Chain A
Amino acid sequence: MQTIADDILIASIAKGDRSAMATLFARYRVPVYRFLLRMVRNEATAEELNGDVFLEVWRHAATFEGRSAVSTWIFSIARFKALSALQRRREEELDEGEAGTIEDKADDPEIALAKKDKAAVLRQCLEKLSAEHREIVNLVYYQHKSVEQIAGIIGIPVATVKTRMFYARKKLSDLLRKQGIDRGWP
């Protein structure tokens, strides 16, 4: 089956083509939702924002100029929506800055068992990263975006993309070290 290119879909959406909108939505609804959920960590909010993102795509398809890939444009809209939502509920949001308030489960037998499993500990530490670091880690490891695509999504220079990922991984190492796993790098 032939796949219609994203930019052709956007051109059709700009003319009000609902089937093109449905096709684009079917293509991106899950990855964008997961990106949003990874950022905001709340299913209801992620669902709402997912709708907001594609409503924005519908409304502004005519202004899309093709300077970046359609997926980069969609993810940058999603990122903006997620950051806005996080800002709105900043005080309630559990984030890295509030790591001290996260319940200490060190004595939980399940957690103690999990600590023996490096993979489980790594997952726990990935969850504890800040929104900024979760974002870039997800874009690289889960969404498989290139350095240039991420630069377009986040709106930062290519060199900053690389160093931000490095510092996210460095932070991950710090968190792992606190859990008793010292990988010595980065």
Chain B
Amino acid sequence: MNGEKKAASSREPSEVELLLPWHAAGALGSREAQAVEAALANDPELALRYEWVREELAQETLIGDTLGEPPAHDVEALFARIDALPPRRAASNTIAARFAELFASLSPRALAWSAMAAAVVIVLQATVIAGILLNANNGVGYQTASEPTNITDQGSDVLLRFKPQASADQIADFLASNKLSIVGGPFAGGLYRVRVAPTKLAKADLSRVIDRLQNDQIVGFIAAAE
């Protein structure tokens, strides 16, 4: 009997079981809700467990409702704090304005990296365009003796997207505390190329860095940059 109970409690829950709390809260889409309803109708044990879920919801609701409310004067307090803020610049949604805002929040070191990255990108673009033009002339023409520049050879980079709610201050703190610098972007989808180490890290080491950074509250997406 005890063994059975232990086995039951240690088994993996089904998808329907996982959804029971959301079903009780009325937070499922109609298709999922119908699937849960059907399972409950055919499985008396599941229906019994659902009663526990409903009881949990009832008690959490009771706890929440008895937490009270913030003080009635909180709206005045909020507007007093808003009034104390420095005058707001005209809101702008242009990419240029956001780019300027982001870079205003970066450290001088990060800014220097960004400037260098921008310079490298320009050189790369010029090289590529020149190459296309030269190829168009069947390879006949002037050739430079310089090595092709490749930014990824200089260190280890990741592609990173910050969560939309991350503030400029949070991003600046994140970059500073993790000794990171933005070396490229923003690219499509709000991605930035971020340097995590000045030297080329081993794949396993880079994975560890990515895993650590991924846990940060403001990181929405992160992956190793090719």
Contact = CB atoms under 8 A, between A and B. Distances in A.
B64 A142 contact: yes
B52 interface: yes
Contact of A60 (B67, B68, B167): B167
Interface SS, A side: helix
Contacts, number: 150
Interface residues of B, number: 53
A92 B80 CA distance: 31
Q: Which of B78, B81, B91, B98 has the most CB of A within 10 A?
A: B78
Interface residues of A, number: 67
B104 to A, nearest CB: 13
B17 A165 contact: no
A123 B19 CA distance: 22
A34 B58 contact: no
9 contacts: A34-B64, A59-B85, A67-B164, A119-B62, A122-B56, A123-B62, A141-B60, A144-B27, A184-B5
Interface of B: 5, 8-9, 13, 17-19, 21-22, 24-29, 49, 52-53, 55-64, 67-71, 74-75, 77-79, 81-82, 85, 88, 91-93, 98, 163-165, 167, 217, 219-220
Interface of A: 14-16, 18, 21-22, 25-26, 29-30, 33-34, 37-38, 43, 46-47, 50-51, 54-56, 58-65, 67-68, 73, 76-77, 80, 83, 118-119, 122-123, 126-127, 137-138, 140-142, 144-147, 149, 155, 162-163, 165-166, 169-170, 172-173, 182-186
